[in-house]
């Protein structure tokens, strides 16, 4: 039987007294690739931040379990240690901390083991080569002066180096040129295997080309209003989102 990795039930949550998620249900099994589609402002990034435990957001009711364990009360770093990873829609610049230092420190903190520098450097270099990142970027400060596309590749580098159980990818493909989307898509495909899962937000489904999508969820007005297989992507690409709400209103 499929093993549950993430289970969210009737989640109500928001920011600064504004309710954004209004009874959201979502379930992801181990080994699966899920996609969240939805119009601008529907709550997709909010959901990702809430799963990761961003302190700015408040959960008012509902439950969120990871590997069967209640996540409420867990801080962001504790969620990262349990195997959650978020690739930001807008990656932060961190002056003073190099890419190499940041990823090595994160790996040590997550695993609790000392990460030896020489083999780590070798692995980092190999992964950077695959992502077509110049090796000198390892010694640059995290994202400082990186182009939009370079920041997104750097997110995938962290994903490959940290090997989380659940990768939350928030529009990792936005702002990428055609070749870079291909590289990022290959990076995600390389990461994914039967022991981990991906939850991907995208408006440009080309990132999915190298992946076998198990389930698609449509998020509108803070709720999952439609679910289906990969065929739902084609349907939304050709017909947009509004017909889903129209069909639901007609059914009422
Ligand atoms: N600090 C805040 N105060 C008030 N409203 C907020 C705040 N942060 C987010 N929102 C609102 O919450 C709603 C959901 O935002 P969110 O970023 O989750 O949408 P999204 O589905 O990811 O959109 P997009 O596709 O444009 O990235 C939006 O209407 C946004 O304006």
The verdict on residue 112 lying in a domain is no
Distance from the CA of 42 to the center of ligand 1, in angstroms? Answer: 7
3-class state of residue 1 by DSSP: coil
The verdict on residue 132 lying in a domain is no
The verdict on residue 149 lying in a domain is no
Q: Is the pTM of this model over 0.80?
A: yes
Q: Give the DSSP per-residue string, 209-248.
A: TTS---EEEEEETTEEEEEE-THHHHHHHHH-SHHHHHHH
For residue 50, the enclosing domain spans 4-93+166-251
The verdict on residue 105 lying in a domain is no
245: pLDDT strictly greater than 90? no
Average pLDDT, the chain: 93
3-class state of residue 68 by DSSP: coil
The verdict on residue 15 lying in a domain is yes
Q: What is the pLDDT of residues 46-63, one digit of tens each?
A: 999 999 999 999 999 999
Decide if 34 contacts 214 (C-beta within 8 A).
yes
Domain tally, the chain: 1
Distance from the CA of 46 to the center of ligand 1, in angstroms? Answer: 7
Distance from the CA of 92 to the center of ligand 1, in angstroms? Answer: 18
The verdict on residue 151 lying in a domain is no
The verdict on residue 20 lying in a domain is yes
DSSP H helical ranges for the chain: 44-52, 76-82, 99-111, 117-130, 148-162, 178-191, 231-239, 242-251
Tokens of 152: 């997104």
Q: Which protein residues are within 6 Å of ligand 1, measured from CB?
A: 15-16, 18, 20, 38, 40-46
Q: What is the pLDDT of residues 177-236, one digit of tens each?
A: 888 898 889 999 999 999 999 999 998 888 898 899 999 999 999 999 999 999 999 888
For 8, how many CA atoms within 13 A lie in the half-sphere containing its CB? Answer: 19
CATH classification at residue 70: 3.40.50.300
pLDDT at 173: 86
248: pLDDT strictly greater than 90? no
The verdict on residue 117 lying in a domain is no
Mutate to test the pocket of ligand 1, among 21, 24, 44, 89 (most ligand atoms within 8 A of CB): 44
Which candidate, 62, 69, 81, places its Cα nearest to that of 14?
Answer: 62
Distance from the CA of 43 to the center of ligand 1, in angstroms? Answer: 6
């Amino acid at each position: 039987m499929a093993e549950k990795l993430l289970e969210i039930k009737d989640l109500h949550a928001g920011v600064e007294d504004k309710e954004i998620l209004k009874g959201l249900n979502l379930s992801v099994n181990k080994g699966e690739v899920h996609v969240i589609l939805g119009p601008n402002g529907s709550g997709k990034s909010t959901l990702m931040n809430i799963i990761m435990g961003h302190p700015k957001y408040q959960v008012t009711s509902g439950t969120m379990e990871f590997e069967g364990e209640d996540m409420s009360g867990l801080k962001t770093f504790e969620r990262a240690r349990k195997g959650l990873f978020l690739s930001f829609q807008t990656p932060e610049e961190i002056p003073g901390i190099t890419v190499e230092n940041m990823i090595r420190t994160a790996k040590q903190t997550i695993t609790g083991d000392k990460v030896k520098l020489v083999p780590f450097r070798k692995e980092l270099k190999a992964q950077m080569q695959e992502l077509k990142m110049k090796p000198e970027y390892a010694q640059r400060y995290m994202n400082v002066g990186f182009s939009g596309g370079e920041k997104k590749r750097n997110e995938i580098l962290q994903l490959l180096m940290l090997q989380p159980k659940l990768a939350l990818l928030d529009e990792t493909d936005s702002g990428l040129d055609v070749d870079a989307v291909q590289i990022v898509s290959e990076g995600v495909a390389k990461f994914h295997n039967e022991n981990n899962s991906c939850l991907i937000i995208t408006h440009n489904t080309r990132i999915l080309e190298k992946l076998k999508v198990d389930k698609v969820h449509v998020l509108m007005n803070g709720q999952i209003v439609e679910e289906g297989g990969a065929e739902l992507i084609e349907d939304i690409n050709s017909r947009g989102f509004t017909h889903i709400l129209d069909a639901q209103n007609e059914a009422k």
